[in-house]
Structures are given as structure tokens and as C-alpha cells.
Amino acid sequence: MHPAPSVIIFTTLSGLGFGLLAFLGLGLPNVSGWVAFVFFAIAYGLAVGGLLASTFHLGHPERAWKAFSQWRTSWLSREGCFAVAALIVMGLYAVGVIFLDQSWGLLGWLGAALSLITVFTTSMIYAQLKTIPRWNMNLTPAMFLSFSLAGGALLAGQNTAAIVLLLIAGAVQLAYWKQGDTALANSGTNIGTATGLGSRGKVRAFEPPHTGSNYLLREFVHVVGRKHAAKLRMMALGFGFVLPLVLLLVPVHDVIVKHLLALIAVIAHLIGIATSRWLFFAQAEHVVGLYYGKR
């Protein structure tokens, strides 16, 4: 599918923001006062900034509030409801930590749970779509959650947890690519099932439905060359997981250098996740492409 920049920004930043909020809700790191204010400001900046970016690809952004009304059936609506709940609960928790020097444990745990549920609902917006087999699998929510937790651990300065979570997230990413590359073929969907003529024998298109470009081709039939995809996957894996792991494992005793390496690790992870998200959308084969001879 066509990778809209606003959606890439949304899924990248909000995942990191809610991941950091989850760790802050658990009391990690154990900070208070202005130090805690900085951590919460970063978390809210990423989470809220990502959510706002998600409205940029809407035809009528001013109507985004209507999405909250469909929480019974829509994962998009559930995402909005849980996001607001998480931000409110974590806002109350932040007041106690920053201004009252009190950590309301139960409230923090609730906020952490709501933050991770928000990430899960975001992933289900894509995982529920049977028309895109590459997304319609259990590894999609696993990828979103593992990325969020790994990024949150990095931002929270929890190096031991970050190392473990980065390894898990990297493994999930590789598994997602492996399973996703065969998802469309394994789904059993082809031009025969798409047209309903498969029972009559092998079906092939006599001519394409349109001689020129159209909305469906622009939005749902985005083709990425294999060589480019391979390079981008290496970039996503290298920047997103390998480089941060190396930087975290480097033995450093100087505090300033240690914080500098941690900052570089966060920036590298952000670049890698953004690249992975671009591939997530660009390589998603919508079944409508079958009508145009795309596989």
C-alpha cells in the first residue's frame, strides 16, 4: 500500500511514547521532580504528537472526534478511547510523581496497562484486515508491542531490559518478514477467487481494468523492488536493533559518554523503526491488486 508519511510518523512516535509511559507507570526509572517532568514530557510529546499526526491523512481532520463513537465495532475507535484513558490516568500519576513526590502504584500500573492496550488496539486496526494477508496474522500485534516495549525501555534508560527486549523485537521483526513474504500466497486468494471464476479452471486477465492510473492503483498497489526492500530491511534491522544493542553493550564508565551513547542508540532505533514502518505499509499487498495482475 502507499505509505503515507503521517501514518508512519503516527505508528512510530506513538508506539515509543506509550512504551515510555508504560515504563514510567511501573516506576522505571524511579525519578521525581523536574527529572520526572522531563521524562513525562518526552513520553507525552511522542504519544500525543503521533496521535495528532494520524489525523493528517484524513480528508476531514475536523471530524476525527466522531471516531470515538464506534468503539463497539471499530478498532480505530477503541484505539482513540484507550489512548485518551491512558493519557488521563498517566497525567494524574505524573502529577503525584512530579509535584507531590508520591508514586501512586496502582494508578501507575493501570496507566501502564492502558498504554500497552492502546498499542495493541493500534496493531489490530491492521491485523484485522483479511484483505491484506501480510497484516492479517498474529505477528502484527506482537511486532507493535515488542517495538513499543523495546523503545520504551531505551527511552527510560533501562539498559538490561532494553537489551532483552531489543533481541525479542528483532526476532519478531525477522519472523514477521519471513511469514509476511508468503502470506498472500498462503491465503489461497488469487484472481480466480477474486473474480469467482476459479471453479471453471485457471483464470487470467484478458486486459487490465484500466489503461491509466487511478485511486486504487495509487493507494493499494504500491510495488517495492526486491533489491530496495532488501536494503531497507537491512537498514531497519541494523539501525533499529543491532546498533542500539552494540551501543548498550559497550563498557563505558564516563557518565557523559554513557548518556551520549544512549542518545545515539535512541536516535538509531527511531530511524530503524521508521524504516520498518515504511516497509510495513509499502510491502502490504492488498488483494485488489489481483484485478490488475499484481501478485
Cα 242 to the center of its chain, rounded Å: 18
Return the closest-CA partner of residue 28 out of 115, 117, 88: 115
Provide mean pLDDT across the span 32-57: 93
Provide mean pLDDT across the span 77-93: 96
Picking from 106-115, 157-166, 213-222, which range would have the lowest pLDDT averaged per residue? Answer: 213-222
Greatest mean pLDDT among 29-33, 222-226, 242-246 lies in 242-246
pLDDT > 80? residue 1:
no
Distance, CA of 150 to CA of 165 (rounded, Å): 5
Distance, CA of 55 to CA of 248 (rounded, Å): 35
Rounded to the nearest integer, the mean pLDDT of the chain is 90
pLDDT > 80? residue 264:
yes
Distance, CA of 278 to CA of 148 (rounded, Å): 16
Q: Which three cell numbers stand for residue 63?
A: 471530524
Provide mean pLDDT across the span 61-74: 81
pLDDT > 90? residue 224:
no
Number of domains in the chain: 1
Q: Which domain holds residue 219?
A: 5-292
Q: What is the pLDDT of residue 23?
A: 98
Residue 60 — pLDDT band, cuts 50, 70, 90? confident
Distance, CA of 188 to CA of 163 (rounded, Å): 39
Residues 103-143 have pLDDT tens digits of 788 999 999 999 999 999 999 999 999 999 999 999 999 99
Handedness of CA 248, 251, 257, 258 (dihedral sign): positive
pLDDT > 90? residue 214:
no
pLDDT > 70? residue 83:
yes
pLDDT > 90? residue 98:
yes
Q: What is the pLDDT of residue 211?
A: 63
Provide mean pLDDT across the span 241-257: 95
pLDDT > 90? residue 3:
no
CATH number at residue 15: 1.20.1630.10
pLDDT > 90? residue 287:
no
pLDDT > 70? residue 215:
no
Residues 19-35 have pLDDT tens digits of 999 999 999 999 999 99
Picking from 104-118, 165-179, 187-201, which range would have the lowest pLDDT averaged per residue? Answer: 187-201
262 vs 69, more confident: 262
Residue 37 — pLDDT band, cuts 50, 70, 90? very high
Given a contact cutoff of 8 angstroms between Cβ atoms, the answer to whether 171 and 272 are in contact is no
Alpha helices, H only, the chain: 5-25, 33-53, 75-98, 105-127, 139-155, 159-180, 183-186, 191-195, 215-220, 226-237, 243-249, 255-282
